[in-house]
A = this chain, B = another copy of it.
């Protein structure tokens, strides 16, 4: 489906740039920045493939994606002073990527006839865990665990996607509806500054 591929590329680009930017903030060298950008972009899909047993991991045989990521990283490094100015388009791309990566992850788990709860988990991992590995490599507690509605958008979207499966006439639109729903939840939560409550122990 062409629309999905275009969105997928936008998501990959957004994740790559966010990884490159995080690497530059930590003053890594060029190689380090490429690795962080790469891992942010393909990390979630890699964990998905390892968990569900896709062999080899998908990016290993997907050369265009490798070149796309390296190219986007170099562009980020050379245009580093312009990145801040594209902050809000980046958030849009990132939200699109979130929805798109979730849907591809969910679908691949679903193709293996995994139970619905697992499909939601696998989709969420696909969409979110590239950023988790990025944060681990940069020696931070993953922002995912302390941040606005991000993974939660995936889980809500997964519930919707599961529900849509019962309406066979919606079948071909289900992916796009879920993607747009996750996108909308994410954007609305940023706009309105909504986050999950932090849970702490009384002392």
* C-alpha spacing A120/B144, complex, angstroms: 31
B66 touches A199 (CB 8 A): no
Q: Which of B29, B51, B202 contacts A60 (CB 8 A)?
A: B51
Chain B residues within 8 Å of A31, by CB: 144-145, 151-152, 155, 196
Interface size class of A (residues with CB under 8 A): 35 or more
* C-alpha spacing A35/B154, complex, angstroms: 14
Write out, one digit per residue, whether chain A residues 139-152 have a CB within 8 A of any chain B CB (1) or not (0): 11110111100011
- Of A3-11, A86-94, A109-117, A174-182, the one with at least 4 CB within 8 A of chain B: A109-117
Copies in the complex: 3
Closest to A140 in B: B139
Q: Is A190 an interface residue (CB 8 A)?
A: no
Q: Which of B50, B118, B141, B155 contacts A66 (CB 8 A)?
A: B118
A142 touches B151 (CB 8 A): no
A199 touches B136 (CB 8 A): no
Chain B residues within 8 Å of A77, by CB: 199
Using known A-B contacts A138-B141, A199-B28, determine if residue A46 contacts B51 with beta carbons closer than 8 Å.
yes
B145 touches A23 (CB 8 A): yes
* C-alpha spacing A35/B136, complex, angstroms: 15
**Chain A positions 111-138 with a Cβ under 8 Å from a chain B Cβ:** 112, 114-115, 117-118, 121-122, 132, 136-138
Q: Which of B30, B57, B66, B118 contacts A63 (CB 8 A)?
A: B118
Write out, one digit per residue, whether chain A residues 15-53 have a CB within 8 A of any chain B CB (1) or not (0): 000000101111111111101100000000010001111
Q: Is A61 an interface residue (CB 8 A)?
A: yes
Q: Which of B24, B32, B56, B63 contacts A51 (CB 8 A)?
A: B56
Q: Using a CB–CB distance below 8 Å, which chain A residues touch chain B?
A: 21, 23-33, 35-36, 46, 50-53, 55-57, 60-61, 63, 66-67, 77, 80-81, 109, 112, 114-115, 117-118, 121-122, 132, 136-142, 144-147, 151-152, 155, 195-202
